[in-house]
A and B are shown apart, each in its own frame.
Chain A
Amino acid sequence: MSSMEALVTPSALQTRTKLRAEHVNMVFQRDGQKMAVLEDINLEVGDGEFLCLLGPSGCGKSTLLNTMAGFLSPTSGEIKVDGEVVRGPDPRRIFVFQERGVFPWLTVEGNIGFGLFKLPRQERERRIAHYIKMVGLEGFEKTYPPELSGGMKQRLEVARALAVNPDMLFLDEPFGALDSITRLIMRGELLRIWEAERKTIIFVTHDIDEAVQLADRVVVMSARPAKIQQIVTIDIPHPRDISSPRYLELRDGIFKQIGLAHKV
């Protein structure tokens, strides 16, 4: 147990804890059969940290993210944000789905303003304009999402999330449906936004390179039921040189941890 604690407590973390998962278990019932999806997840995420949850497809990392965001309640254990138990979704913590999450019946402006309905009109318009600029969608204010490319839809969804000024962002394989070039550009954009706004970001991916390029720490998860196998601190400052020896060393370490030789 004590070695486990040592594993999950962030060593390089100077800031206070934002989110804490305590003995989180999740069991799904399907056709009368019980299926364990999450097994004793213990994790601390620091304020302003960029954390990646990495694991094979279908391992349960999305379930963990949905539980952290309050869309699912754990079978046992607790998720706490700022010391408070999470009981449901909250506008202070916005979940970014894959690009499918934007509303096709609203324009770019309408989507970004979606969560700002409580603000006075002037403030709402100011924020919409600010985030349209931040994600580079100027000129597309009145455009409907079906006319946007995949990368633009994804940026739109990030802008909609940021516009309500949340403390945390949950991103569930947000760039999974994009082509590889757009994906690289989007990673750079996300880092730029993160460095400007310093939100706490929890980012689910099954792409090892993506995790090592983005995260402060990478949480490596096992196949189902998902357990935390290892937490890797990525101690390379941004912008990261993806051919540096340290990068390759960290990446290869995770490849080995997951049990993959990286020769094709």
Chain B
Amino acid sequence: MNLRVRLRPILFIAALLAAWQIAIHRDSVHLLPGPWGVIGGIADLVRHGVLFKYIVASLFRVTWGFVLAVVLAVPLGLAIGWYRRAEMAFNPIIQLLRPISPLAWIPIAILWFGVGDMAAIFLIFLGCFLPLLLTAINAVQSVPAVYINAGRNFGLSPFELIYRVLYPAVTPQLIVGLRITLGIAWLVVVAAEMIAVNSGLGFLIVDARNAGNRYDLVVAGMVMIGIIGLLLDMGIRSLGNIKSSRWSYSED
């Protein structure tokens, strides 16, 4: 039973791949390379030693942009959420900046940082910063007052109150926010690499098209982006399995 349940998605994917391959065979107009072509493309990339290099380049940028955003946005968001007045001051700016896609910042990123890693990291940082800030603000504001009152009742100093009550109380919501934001970072890095740098998986896709319409490499790049995105999501989701953070207010 369990095995069958586990096999089901694998069988479904295999069927889709087979259908894809058959469709490519029947239609000589090459709208897409077939699965074999894509596998060949991936093998090509490995042979030329660029696949691993590009993956590392993309992950490097995502890591820096994401980590910088976490380090700045989470404490700032917790502070803004804690002080009502700060929230009233910051909220209009946040709401104004929020609808601006991080991609709209590409020209400014290149103007400030030139073509290179810094521009891409900056764009990823921008894409992560506001969603994380909003998550942290909302997380603080949804902490039930009883936890704060109980903490104060036991004689905690303001610092202890933040460390022993506020921080654990917001953790489950922060983990959800981190997961969504890491997904955004992975989306933004591909777009940023198409324009602002000359390495990475995003660059691979644009370069493969420009340098000779190698659509097998384009799709190979897309497949790699999908697989790595999935692995990143699985990694961050495992944070949510830590027992002390696996609860939510609605359970009570």
Contact = CB atoms under 8 A, between A and B. Distances in A.
Looking at chain B, what size class is its interface with the partner chain? 20 to 34
B154 A104 contact: no
A53 B252 CA distance: 26
Contacts of B169: 103, 105
A100 B160 CA distance: 21
B149 A95 contact: yes
Given A91-B154, A95-B149, A114-B164, 9 more contacts: A69-B153, A89-B153, A90-B153, A90-B155, A94-B154, A95-B150, A103-B165, A115-B155, A146-B252
A103 B167 CA distance: 12
B154 A101 contact: no
A164 interface: yes
A94 B169 CA distance: 21
A115 B244 CA distance: 18
B154 A164 contact: yes
A140 interface: no
Interface of B: 144, 146-147, 149-150, 152-155, 160, 164-165, 168-169, 171, 243-245, 247, 251-252
Nearest to B242: A105
A91 B160 CA distance: 15
A219 B152 CA distance: 28
A91 B153 contact: yes
B236 to A, nearest CB: 19
A103 B168 contact: yes
A97 interface: yes
Interface residues of A, number: 24
A144 B247 contact: yes
Contact of A97 (B146, B154, B160, B171): B146
Contact of A89 (B144, B147, B149, B247): B149
Query: B155, B160, B245: which has the most chain A beta carbons within 10 Å?
Result: B155
A149 B252 CA distance: 10
A71 B149 contact: yes
Contacts of B247: 104-105, 144-146
A248 to B, nearest CB: 36
Given A105-B168, A146-B252, A100 B146 contact: yes
Contact of B154 (A99, A106, A114, A144): A114
Nearest to A118: B155
A104 B171 CA distance: 11
Contacts of B149: 71, 89, 95, 97
A79 B245 CA distance: 39
Nearest to A106: B244
Contacts of A88: 152
19 contacts: A89-B152, A90-B153, A90-B155, A94-B153, A94-B154, A95-B149, A97-B150, A101-B146, A103-B165, A105-B168, A105-B171, A105-B245, A105-B247, A117-B160, A144-B243, A144-B244, A146-B247, A146-B251, A164-B154
Interface of A: 69, 71, 88-91, 93-95, 97, 99-101, 103-106, 114-115, 117, 144-146, 164
Secondary structure class of chain B's binding surface, majority of residues: helix
Closest 9 CB pairs of A and B: A115-B154, A105-B168, A91-B155, A104-B247, A89-B153, A105-B244, A97-B146, A146-B251, A101-B146
Nearest to B172: A105
Contacts of A97: 146, 149-150
A87 to B, nearest CB: 12
B245 A100 contact: no
A114 B147 CA distance: 12
Nearest to A142: B243
A95 B252 contact: no
Contacts of A89: 149, 152-153
A153 to B, nearest CB: 8
Contacts of A95: 149-150, 153
B34 to A, nearest CB: 50
A63 to B, nearest CB: 14
A104 B251 contact: yes
A9 B252 CA distance: 41
A89 B154 CA distance: 8
A106 B154 CA distance: 15
